[in-house]
Amino acid sequence: MDFFPYYGIEHRTVGWAMHKKNRVLFPGIIGWLVFSLFFGSGVAAQEESYELAHEDVFGPLQRPSVHFPHDRHMDALDEEGCGICHHVFDKEKGELVPVDDPDAGCTECHGSKKDGSVPALREAFHGSCNVCHRDVNRVGEASPPVACGECHKKKNGAGQER
């Protein structure tokens, strides 16, 4: 009788004739894999990239949506931290402070119009993005986009950027 000790399976009954220790180990591994595939992939992670459109705030867009490479920004802003983009205004301190929930979206505070000292969503995007991109360009570290058409790229019929 051939025996495959690594798998705990006898050759003549390939399949379910496992050693006692593997009867628990094997289902446990399968359970862990299934759990990881369905629940583990997004537990504390942001998407790598996504489209910024917010038609719910802006209405029909006059320019194409912006492809936002979140992972690239996370890498570039590692020292500054997530609070550069994910922030709220602390009235006591009189300044922007990092928000506890990095999944909190911009539209939770920024709407279609300015609300007191809270800028409208369009101005918040353009203010944060353009200022940071221009600062990076000025220092010469990289050359992120600063012109309208460099972020708002037109797409062809197949949905690919031209």
Using an 8 Å Cβ cutoff, are 118 and 109 in contact? yes
CATH of domain 50-151: 3.90.10.10
pLDDT at 28: 60
pLDDT at 91: 87
Per-domain residue ranges of the chain: 3-42, 50-151
Taking 70 as the pLDDT cut, the residues of the chain under it are: 1-46, 102, 157-162
Where on the phi/psi map is residue 101: left (φ > 0), alpha (ψ -120 to 50), or beta? beta
**Which DSSP category does 99 fall into?**
-
Which class for 82: exposed (0-12), middle (13-18), buried (19 or more C-beta within 10 A)?
A: middle
Tens of pLDDT, residues 142-162 = 889 999 999 999 887 666 665
Tens of pLDDT, residues 14-34 = 444 455 555 555 566 666 656
pLDDT at 16: 45
